[in-house]
């Protein structure tokens, strides 16, 4: 127990930087008999007791361990089934802060998690979103300054947020809306909603969200800046090298997120194809400049 206490003390003192495996081995005093293996066993036992200890070193590099501070009493006191039930309860209550403290990671949330319980008959955004799905009612709301009329498909919890997935009237593209960002919500008559294609799990990367109709955009850059473009915009659909430049073509389905990354890239790229995205970029820049 004294050895484990020394390890915890060093991890706590190291903070977000973390402590190297060499440092932990030295304070643990394992001796010469497979100290790395003994450290692995001790860290595994601490994790079982509810301590969150992550190896933050890059792949192939010597281990560096960081402890995420938090109250682990619930982890220790509750049985595994009790802890799972509590995790589900805080997800359904939209308490992402508690979910994180209980060790719930976004990628671990089951596909299509949801609740059939409607807390209030009206006035509550999440309740209205659930009602629209259950009653198959078209739902009207304002989102990012635009009025929407949506045929609802599913409501799910992912990435610590509730999403309503559905198809806007007159379109066949499944979009995902953050429920907390919806306003002026109103339901139409039950049964007015059309069948919606199954919504796959929402991608974690915003550039892969299907918010807008697919638009092909080609960016021109130099060979030196290609790694920067790929780092911010992911791998392109096509990459064509020219005399002293490189053309990278992307299929854009979330224009706002795409524009935000273009601002970061700045003069390293120019748009050679994709007039709609270019025009939106100019309008947005004019608004920012007050022109």
* pLDDT one-digit tens code per residue, 103-120: 665 555 554 444 444 344
Q: What pLDDT, on the 0 to 100 scale, is given for residue 118?
A: 38
Answer whether 36's CB lies under 8 Å from 42's CB.
Answer: no
Mean pLDDT of 35-41: 87
The larger pLDDT score, comparing residue 237 to residue 204, is at 237
How does DSSP assign the chain, residue by residue?
-HHHHHHHHHHHHHGGG-EEHHHHHHHHT--SS-HHHHHHHHHHHHHHTT-EEEE-SPTTSPPEEEEEP---HHHHHS-HHHHHHHHHHHHHTT-HHHHHHTT--GGGSPTT------SSSSS-HHHHHHHHHHHT--EEEEETTEEEEEEEEEEEEETTEEEEEEEETT---EEEEEGGG-EEEEE--TT-SPP-PPPPPPPSSGGG---S--EEEEEEE-GGGHHHHHHHH-S-SEEEE-SS-EEEEEEES-HHHHHHHHHHHGGG-EEEE-HHHHHHHHHHHHHHHT-
Q: Which range is least confidently modeled, 53-57, 190-194, 217-221?
A: 53-57
> What is the pTM for the complete model shown?
0.38
* Structure tokens that stand for 186 in this block: 């109103």
Q: How far is CA 199 from CA 112, 212, 244, in A?
A: 9, 15, 42
Mean pLDDT of 3-12: 80
Percentage, residues of the chain above pLDDT 90: 21
Distance CA 224, CA 238 (A): 17
* pLDDT one-digit tens code per residue, 20-31: 988 888 888 888
The larger pLDDT score, comparing residue 109 to residue 58, is at 58
Distance CA 26, CA 45 (A): 19
* pLDDT one-digit tens code per residue, 161-212: 788 989 998 888 888 888 989 999 999 999 999 888 766 556 666 787 777 7
Distance CA 285, CA 218 (A): 20
Whether residue 14 has pLDDT greater than 60? yes
Q: What pLDDT, on the 0 to 100 scale, is given for residue 57?
A: 84
**HSE (side-chain half, CA atoms, 13 Å) at 214:** 9
The larger pLDDT score, comparing residue 47 to residue 75, is at 47
The larger pLDDT score, comparing residue 63 to residue 48, is at 63
């Amino acid at each position: 127990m004294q050895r484990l206490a020394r390890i915890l003390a060093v991890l706590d003192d190291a903070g977000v930087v973390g402590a190297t495996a060499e440092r932990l081995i030295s304070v643990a005093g394992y001796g010469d008999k497979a100290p790395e293996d003994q450290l692995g066993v001790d860290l595994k036992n601490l994790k079982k007791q509810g301590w969150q200890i992550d190896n933050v070193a890059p792949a192939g590099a010597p281990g560096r361990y960081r402890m995420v501070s938090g109250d682990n009493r619930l982890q220790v006191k509750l049985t595994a089934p009790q802890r799972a039930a509590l995790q589900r309860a805080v997800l359904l209550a939209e308490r992402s802060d508690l979910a994180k403290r209980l060790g719930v990671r976004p990628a671990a949330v089951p596909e299509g998690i949801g609740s059939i319980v409607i807390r209030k008959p009206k006035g509550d955004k999440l309740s209205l979103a659930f009602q629209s799905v259950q009653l198959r009612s078209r739902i009207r709301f304002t989102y990012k300054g635009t009025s929407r009329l949506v045929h609802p498909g599913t409501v799910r919890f992912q990435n610590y947020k509730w999403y309503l997935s559905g198809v806007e009237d007159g379109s066949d593209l499944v979009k995902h809306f953050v429920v907390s960002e919806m306003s002026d919500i109103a339901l139409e008559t039950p049964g007015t909603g059309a069948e919606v294609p199954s919504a796959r799990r929402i991608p974690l990367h915003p550039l892969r969200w299907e918010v807008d109709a697919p638009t092909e955009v080609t960016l021109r850059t130099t060979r030196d800046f290609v790694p920067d473009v790929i780092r911010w915009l992911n791998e392109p659909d096509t990459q064509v090298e020219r005399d002293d430049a490189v053309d990278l073509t992307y299929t854009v389905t979330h224009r706002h997120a795409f524009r935000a990354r273009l601002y970061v890239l700045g003069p390293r790229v120019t748009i050679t194809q994709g007039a709609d995205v270019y025009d939106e970029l100019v309008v947005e820049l004019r608004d920012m400049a007050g022109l």
